[in-house]
Structure 1
């Protein structure tokens, strides 16, 4: 574990960091932090379970991710978003404009999937434990689903950059994306169709890009995926962690609490 931490520290020293943005580009041809490209601004507060994560990294930088409530106590997000300290903001639309709907929560426990691999991004899933206000725990999205096949149109949501050269968006945005066949993600060296979803038509400009890993992918209002990584040039498709294989692991943790 100490050796892995040392390796991670050396890799992360290459990161270009600014407030609300942490991105890592690698020779593998992908960016491990993604955002919404060609999306639209969401209606204010339609999804009170959406979570904005402000992260103090192990190196002391400030970064951000997305996530969503799956119970009164737990937020589901990407393992890549792990840090020294995480603050969850619920009930936010514009992350720069505090409202009465806001609730800020300190994360008491970060539960990373035991098989998460930092370098391949496999098993990129994590649960964050905190105590949410009941008003944010109502109408949680359905998320324990079976394997979803390609061809469906789904919806991703998050905060962050809206283009390669664009500035950070303070408001929650969403974009409709098509689920693709596994072959569309063959250029990603470690892509696994059993554990991940290939998302976004390569003929379209719509995609997920830098700024908010950990945000949800909804298909017919069922949470099916978690934003994981995409290409450095923002071209579709991007890779999302498939939630369905991790249902036993998630349920085991929820039952223990």
Structure 2
């Protein structure tokens, strides 16, 4: 069954680490155009394949995404709503430098975070803006309702990728919800670097097609869509941004011109 699901899903899915969904939106709705001006759509080439991820603008020349969204060449689209249209608001910028976390582990999905240094600064305006990062090591309270957005598929069995950005609200769970989940699906869950997100009683989740997008709580990016079960069911696991704030700040400072 698992094998069949993997075959049904994104052709590029085999390029991702096992179980690492690139965040698609299940059970969501279309976003009001440009209501999430920090969103980035990543077009990634790896060898002779291409696939899509999400990301978010944290500085005029830096985008945050998931480390498993790495590739040989990445182009970032900012200010996009419908990524198949030539919108005047869109800024397409090549990535100058890819900086995955030095302790990223492809097998356990631990430290699944990457900074992308853009080839030129983004022009900030109403359609392209930064999103705030959390204070270092400050956790989100379980029960908090946050949201995610992406250009990924809308169900585990759908082969179509929507062109328009979609969003869904998700509840942050306590770590035990993943650690104690039946079947040991989340045995690689790390309470320091990961967040458990999405009520298992609701068919709402991020999934394959747009990993690297932000989990937004209030107006702050608290998580990065990382991995979960191959059938798209919640809860799913997000990289805990607050854990990585010292690394993010240090890396950006080192690379600023």
Q: Do the structures match in fold with TM over 0.5?
A: yes
CA-to-aligned-CA distance 1:2-30 (integer Å, 9 cap, x gap): xxxxxxxxxxxxx8699x863249997x3
CA drift of 1:56 comes to 0.4
CA drift of 1:193 comes to 1.7
Counting matched residue pairs gives 240
Q: Which moved further from structure 2: 110-119 or 133-142?
A: 133-142
CA-to-aligned-CA distance 1:135-156 (integer Å, 9 cap, x gap): 2596422113322121100001
Q: Of the candidates 160, 163, 167, which is equivalent to residue 170 of structure 1?
A: 163
CA-to-aligned-CA distance 1:62-94 (integer Å, 9 cap, x gap): 111000110011000000000000000011001
Distance in 2 between residues matched to 1:31 and 1:193, nearest whole Å: 17
Partner of 2:28: 39
Segments of 4+ moved more than 3 angstroms: 15-18, 24-28, 136-139
Distance in 2 between residues matched to 1:17 and 1:74, nearest whole Å: 34
Q: Where do 5+ consecutive residues of structure 2 fail to align?
A: 1-5, 180-184
Partner of 2:229: 231
SS of residue paired to 2:56: strand
Cα 1:141–1:27 change in 2 (3 A) is closer
Alignment map for 1:2-41 (pairs within 5 Å): 22-24=12-14, 30-41=19-30
Q: Of the candidates 87, 91, 100, which is equivalent to residue 112 of structure 1?
A: 100
The reply to whether residue 160 of structure 1 matches residue 158 of structure 2 is no
Instruction: Report which structure shows greater RCO (CA 8 Å, sep ≥6).
Output: 2
Q: TM-score by structure 2 length?
A: 0.87
Distance in 2 between residues matched to 1:229 and 1:101, nearest whole Å: 31
SS of residue paired to 2:173: coil
Cα 1:93–1:139 change in 2 (3 A) is closer
Q: TM-score by structure 1 length?
A: 0.87
Distance in 2 between residues matched to 1:89 and 1:136, nearest whole Å: 14
